[in-house]
Amino acid sequence: MIQLLRVPQLSTGSDTTTLVEWTAPAGAAFSAGATLGLLETDKALVELPAEQDGVLLLTLVEAGSTVGVDDPVAILGTAADLGRSAEALMAEAGLTGTGPAEVEPANAATDVAPPPPPPTIAHERIFASPLARRLAKEAGLEITDLIGTGLGGRIVRRDVEAASQARKPVQAPVSAPARVAPSSKIRRVMAAHLSTSKATIPHFYLRGRARAEALLAARDELNANRDAGDKITINDLIVKAVGRAHASIPAMNTIWADDAIVELAAVDVSVAVATDDGLITPVVRSVDASRIENIAATTRRLTAEARAGRIRQSDIDGAAITVSNLGMYAVDEFTAIINPPQSAILAVGAVRDEPVVSDSAVVPGKVMRFMLSVDHRPIDGAVAARWMHEFVSLIESPIRIVA
C-alpha cells in the first residue's frame, strides 16, 4: 500500500524546517522507527522516522530544501511496488504536478541490467549551513566554489562573506556605512526566547565566591596521565558540582509550567556552547550519577556537534539549569538570562589571584566568582541560597565532586 511520508509537527513550534539529508537511499527497506532523513530546526536536528516497516520508493524533495509541517517528502510502500514509474506512484498517492526533484523510483532486482545513465560529473558532498547556502545564492556565488572553515570543512556564513568581499573591486577609501549582517535563524529564536524570558520570568540573583586552589589541584591530578584529547576541564568539574548540588537540593531541580511546579526526575545540566550562528545549550544527562570522565566526553561530543550544526532536538530538551562559563575570556563576573523553560542559569567567571583571609591572616589565593540567576516562580530565595552554599562547598572540596 502506497503511503506518503510527511514532515511531522516540530516541538519547536516552527512551521518550516530544512530537510538536511536522506539517511536511507531509494529502494531501501526499513523497519518501524527507523530514521529515513534528518530535519534541521532552529537549534537542532530532528529525525524523520518511519511509522511502520516498508520500502522507500521515491523522494519528493532534494536535501537542503525548505519544507513545511505536513508537507509530503517521500513515497513509501512495499517491495512489490519496486520498479513502478514515478508518475504511477505519485498518481496513486494523490499527488499532481511535476515529478520528484531528486531521485527516480527504485528498480526491482531483475536479470536484465537497466540501461546506463547519461554520464555525470561526480561531486563530493558539500556541507554548508542553510544560512550559508541562502547567502551564497543571494550573492550569486556557487556553493561548490567556496572553501569551508567551519568544523569538518563545513561552509558557514563567514566563508560566504569572505568570498563576496573578495569579488568586490578595490575602491578608494570612503566613509563606510554601518555594516548590516542578516541574523541567523538560531540567533532570531534565541533573541525571541531571551526577550520572553526577561519580560515574563521574575529573575532574582545570587552572587557566590569560592576558593579555587583545591579545584585546580584536583583537575591537574585527574589529568596527570591523560592524553590531550581526554583532559578534564574546570568546566567539567563545575557541571558535575551543579549536578551534585541539584541532587542535594531537589527543590532546585524544578521548572514552572502551566501554573504548576514540575520536579524533574533526572538531574540533567545544559552547557552553553557558542557557535557561528548563535548560542546552543545541549544537555548532559544524569550528571549527578555520571563519572567525571563520562561528563567530559559527553560535553566534548555535544560541543563538536553543536558547532558543526549536527545537534539533535533530543540533545537540547530537558534540564532545569544551564552552566554558562566565560572564564576563559578573562571575565570576572557576569549576569546571565534564564533560558525558558529552565528555572536557573549559573554564570561562571575566571579564576583570579586575589588576597584572601586565612587563619586571620591575609594571604595570596585563587578565587572564582559565580552569579546564579533564578526563576522566582518555582524557587524561593532561601532554596537558592542553600543551593549556592552547597555548590560553593563542593567547589572548595572537590573530592566530593569526583567521589
- Hey, which residues are catalytic here? 376, 380
The string over 351-381, giving b where at least 16 C-beta atoms fall within 10 Å of a residue's C-beta and e elsewhere, is beeeeeeeeeeeeeebbbbbbbbbbebbbee
**Whether 97 contacts 114, CB under 8 Å:** no
Q: In whole angstroms, how far apart are CA 284 and each of 122, 218, 319?
A: 40, 21, 8
Which residues have a Cβ under 8 Å from the Cβ of 60 and sit 6 or more positions away?
Answer: 72, 73, 74, 75, 95, 100, 101
Q: What DSSP string describes 346-395?
A: EEE---EEEEEEETTEEEEEEEEEEEEEEETTT--HHHHHHHHHHHHHHH
| 3-state SS, residue 271 | strand
* Torsional sign, CA 24, 26, 28, 29: positive
Peptide bond into 355 cis (omega under 30): no
* Amino acid identity for residue 242 in this structure: V
Residue 379 phi/psi, 5-degree rounding, is -130, 130
Residue 173 phi/psi, 5-degree rounding, is -60, 135
Which residues have a Cβ under 8 Å from the Cβ of 115 and sit 6 or more positions away?
Answer: none
HEC string of 35-46?
EEEEEECCCCEE
How far apart are the C-alpha atoms of 292 and 298, rounded to whole Å? 10
**Whether 91 contacts 77, CB under 8 Å:** no
Q: In the structure grid, which three cell numbers stand for residue 4, read together? A: 506518503
Q: In the structure grid, which three cell numbers stand for residue 300, read together? A: 566534548
For residue 51, the tally of other CB atoms under 10 A from its CB is 11
Residue length, the chain? 403
